[in-house]
Amino acid sequence: MVSSVLKIALVYPELLGTYGDGGNGLVLAERVRRRGIAVELETVGINDQMPAASLYLLGGGEDGPQRLGADLLGRSSFASRVGDGSYVFAVCAGLQLLGTTFAVEGDDEYEGLGLVDARTSRGLRRSVGELVVRVDGRPLVGFENHGGVTTLGESLVPLGAVERGVGNDGVVDGFRTATIWASYAHGPLLAMNPWFADQILTTVLGEELEPLATVADRLYDERVATLT
Amino acid sequence: MLRPSLRHSVATGAVRAVNRLSRLLSLGSGTVIGGRVGLAIAPDLLKELARGRVVVLVSGTNGKTTTTAMIAAGWGGGVTTNATGSNMPEGHVAALAESRSSSVVLEVDEAWLGEVTRATKPRVVTLLNLSRDQLDRANEVRRIAERWRDVVASERETTYVANANDPLVVYAAELAREVEWCDVPTPWTTDAMSCPHCTQPLHFTVDSWWSECGFKKPDVLTSTLREQLTLGGQSYELHLGLPGEFNEVDAVMALTALCCLDVAVPDALATISALTTVAGRFSEVLWRGHHLRLLLAKNPAGFTAMLATLTTNDDDVWISINARLADGHDPSWLYDVPFEVLRGHRVYCFGDRRLDLAVRLDYARVAYVVVDDESPLPSSSGVVNLVANYTAFQEWREWSVPC
């Protein structure tokens, strides 16, 4: 990235933004802005060209919208831009469609973007509830609501071990590559976990960030105390 | 084994007795537990109690309680209704056991509409809107639309009064034999961005919407709300005692349903216009010396509509958020509410999830105060608007006294 403005793109929130997932974009942009770094948060609509961005955000969606989102992403420059080094933070359906296949509407398999070696099938029942994942030694706290069971290929590293809830399969949640973070914790995961938001920003910006104390620290402590 | 009719009598008596006992012991409003007992004795009790009565059902994500109250008021006479908001079969059974009136209007939880429709064989079902709400309980909005569609397709004797500007409602109601479409403002379309038939993007203009597969807003509209209400070829001015466009929409849906029952519109409109509070909503109360107006908003569409009524000045606003069973355990939806419109106000954050709210407001750059138990509160001279979600709203009603 040579631009002096950090560009974050919120992709198809009309399709992939079922439950406050757009909050992650707001949190990231605001945490950058408050440190005096120029940032632009762009919303990519379903009729828009995929813009260049340092970081793309994918949220969750219902079956039909998820299928349309996968189709539109597949026809866009998204995959090639990620291949060229842009970062991705994805939750829920966004996680599923980055993989090779996912299941929608019954047990029909649908082709994903294939950016990672992950396959999602439909679980016997929905996974709904609080999700706690141990990431780099710290609890990541969130809420999950999905019907998928995701199996990672041998070389794909999960985001962390599940301590409460289900995540991918009851054992691990999400995945992590050099440029992608993905979790089943939907909604404003980064609002509840300010340290994780900063970890993503540090990686994307390639520089250490000044500490930023906000009321989100108090929320994180409260959620960790409640859930662990 | 008891004969069916005797079993129903025993069950009905049990509903009344248990509910009376529950109220006497102050265990609750006495509508759920008695209904449960009655249904345990006679599982088909709802069907039996509804037999021979004229039943109207009201369902949708937002506006159920208000629209139900409006239909009850506009219908006139003794109308049986579940005014306590218990909108699942045990609540319906309780309401029907308590009153023998032949006119019945019930609000119905979206997920229960099929079962309640099949049991009560309603004359009219009013379908208000469908949007994201408590997804941890209801899962996906479109699944509700699919279930409604199945009900509409199978219950052919019912007239459906349905919102023509909510594509998910139109998808649910389009197979009805009799449907009265209401052309009412429906600003929240975020959950209907892709076509429920072909999944391609839906196109929206100011007063229409369509999909490339041919699915579109219905052409023949029974009622239209613009500057005025047009209903059955007549025009009416709306001057409601309840504030906000969303209450006008509920009034139009209620009046359209009443038309199906041959109720005279001018009389019904006069009664509906006189309502100033419904189940405590919009009521003014006193709490520790503060004069509050209680406002209920419990999901993104409802909150967005409610905040639009608050933005005309820079007063303090109190907001109380819980995430208990009846609210949905997941407060992620706070990020689907455009709290940015409150910039210029100062928001006092109450409730179990006041920190989640505070973080949302912080990122929205709205001034906020987290109110813990011992926090001092400023004295205010005027009425303070308190917006609360479901269980928080019930708590504030209990804690405060009516003005």
Which ipTM did the prediction report?
0.95
CATH of A6-227, one of 3.40.50.300, 2.30.110.10, 3.40.50.1370, 3.40.50.880: 3.40.50.880
Domain ranges of chain A: 6-227
DSSP for residue B281: B
In total, the C-beta contacts within 8 angstroms joining chain A to chain B are 103
| B354 Ramachandran zone, left/alpha/beta (phi>0; psi -120 to 50) | alpha
B262 DSSP β-pair partners? none
Pick from A143, A166, A224 the residue to mutate for testing the B interface (most B CBs within 10 Å): A143
Could you tell me if B145 lies within 8 Å of chain A, comparing CB atoms?
no
Measure Cα distances from B172 to B6, B125, B186 in Å.
38, 12, 16
For the ranges A121-125, A206-210, B155-159, B353-357, which has the lowest average pLDDT?
A: A121-125
**CA B334 – CA B336 distance, rounded (Å):** 5
Mean pLDDT along residues A26-54: 95
Q: Which residues pair with B290 in a beta bridge?
A: B287
Place of tokens 């469908």: B130
Name chain A contacts of B370, Cβ cutoff 8 Å.
Answer: 215
Half-sphere exposure of A214 (CA within 13 A, CB side): 29
Indicate if the pLDDT at residue A105 is higher than 70: no
The pLDDT confidence band at residue A120, using thresholds 50, 70 and 90, is: very high
* pLDDT value, residue A108: 79
CB-CB under 8 Å, A128 with B363: no
Residue A4: burial class (beta carbons within 10 Å; 0-12, 13-18, 19+):
exposed
Query: Do B147 and B113 contact (CB within 8 A), yes or no?
Result: yes
* Whole-number pLDDT of residue A113: 95
**pLDDT exceeds cutoff 60 at B70:** yes
Q: Token pair 């300010």 is at which residue?
A: A194
What local confidence, expressed as pLDDT, does residue B27 receive?
A: 64
Q: Which residue has the higher pLDDT, B187 or A134?
A: A134
Decide which of B338 and B377 is more confident.
B338
- B-facing residues of A in 35-74 (CB < 8 A) are 46-47, 62-65, 67-68
Q: Which residue in the set B336, B362, B364 is minimally distant from A215, CB to CB?
A: B362
Nearest-CA residue of chain B relative to A30?
A: B363
pLDDT confidence tier of residue A2, bands split at 50, 70 and 90: very low
A153 interfaces chain B, CB cutoff of 8 Å = no
Dist CA B392 CA B318 (whole Å):
12
Residue A88 pLDDT: 98
Q: Which domains does chain B have, with CATH numbers?
A: 44-273 (3.40.1190.10), 284-402 (3.90.190.20)
pLDDT at A1: 45
pLDDT at A46: 87
Q: Does B332 touch chain A (CB under 8 A)?
A: yes
Q: Has residue B184 got a pLDDT over 50?
A: yes
Beta strands B401-402; B284-287: pairing state: antiparallel
**B2 has pLDDT over 60:** no
pLDDT tens track for A156-193: 999 999 999 999 999 999 999 999 999 999 888 999 99
Average pLDDT, chain A: 93
Q: How far apart are CA B69 and CA B247, in angstroms?
A: 11
